[in-house]
Amino acid sequence: MRIQVLTLFPAMFEGFQTNSIIARAIGKGVVDFSAVQIRDYTKDKYGRTDTPPIGGGAGLVQKAQPIVDCIKANKKEGTHVILMSPRGATFNQNMAKKFAKLDDLMIVCGHYEGVDERVNDYIDELVSIGDYVLTGGEIPAMAIADSVIRLLDGAITRESLDEESFDNNTLEYPQYTEPFDFEGKTVPAILYSGNHGAIAKWRRKQSLLLTRKYRPDLFDKLTLSKADLKLLEEADSGIVPKWEADAIEKGKKFMH
């Protein structure tokens, strides 16, 4: 997949491209990522890309010509062009999955007080990362590129993508590492049971409980199965269910 970010601040993407999973994905050829300097396309004799808005008002607005020429020079047939804008639909995991299926994504970053309205005619979709205003689209572009790249084949292991947060509108279950006892807080015994069925059931229960607690908005949208309702009922009763107690008990015997 190719991802091009059109920006006045390509240096902001240097750290993004040269660290961790994204750097590795680029190195492996999973993604062809570039940050393109919009200023290189300005026809203004002083190299300007922004001016005060016509009609008055605060700050500077990005001119249409450099952005539109930068889009035209770098897009191919079939490139999906998005503009980062607080006006757009709020980005989510489903959008990340949709973008990850594309061959070519172009992310245009506005900066300062916004962009000339006429730029919108060269854009396929407006995307926001939430209801707050940033100084520019660079951080939103990074968030989007990051969430898309990690979904591409070869970026991370398949298993890491299974059962992750927001799949099926639930938050991911809690994870633990060694040691067993950290400052008196212990790892749930079921995770040592070796009983994969019971562990999966326990994780589903935790996932439902976490979603209900932290994201009631998502929880309300869930279609709960009979088994899910039973798990929640068990949890709310405060009594450890038999299947869980049995799995823990058997696991103990197995370990000794």
Binding site for ligand ADE (CB under 6 A): 84-86, 128-130, 132-134, 137, 140
Q: Residue 50 — φ and ψ, nearest 5°? A: -140, 155
Q: Which is nearer to ligand ADE, 128 or 193 (CB)?
A: 128
Q: Which is nearer to ligand ADE, 12 or 210 (CB)?
A: 12
Would you give the end-to-end CA distance of the chain in angstroms?
50
Q: How far is the CB of 107 from ligand ADE (least distance, A)?
A: 10
Q: How far is the CB of 237 from ligand ADE (least distance, A)?
A: 43
The conformational region for residue 55 under phi > 0 = left, psi -120 to 50 = alpha, else beta, is left
Q: Which is nearer to ligand ADE, 112 or 243 (CB)?
A: 112
Quick check: 33 and 22 in contact, CB under 8 A? yes
Q: How far is the CB of 137 from ligand ADE (least distance, A)?
A: 5
Q: Which is nearer to ligand ADE, 57 or 194 (CB)?
A: 57
For residue 153, give the DSSP letter.
B
Q: Which pair of structure tokens corresponds to residue 250?
A: 């058997």
Question: What distance in Å separates the CA atoms of residue 168 and residue 163, rounded to the nearest whole number?
Answer: 9
Q: How far is the CB of 129 from ligand ADE (least distance, A)?
A: 4
Q: Which residues contact 253 (CB under 8 A, 6 or more apart)?
A: none
Q: Which is nearer to ligand ADE, 91 or 173 (CB)?
A: 91
Q: Which of 134, 35, 145, 136 is nearest to 91 (CA)?
A: 145
> Which strands sit side by side in the sheet containing 104-109, from one edge to the other?
32-37, 2-7, 104-109, 80-90, 125-128
Q: Which is nearer to ligand ADE, 130 or 197 (CB)?
A: 130
Q: How far is the CB of 109 from ligand ADE (least distance, A)?
A: 8
Q: How far is the CB of 126 from ligand ADE (least distance, A)?
A: 8
Q: Which is nearer to ligand ADE, 84 or 209 (CB)?
A: 84
Quick check: 188 and 217 in contact, CB under 8 A? no
Q: How far is the CB of 250 from ligand ADE (least distance, A)?
A: 51
Q: Which pair of structure tokens corresponds to residue 246?
A: 């049995």
Q: Which pair of structure tokens corresponds to residue 241?
A: 């269910």
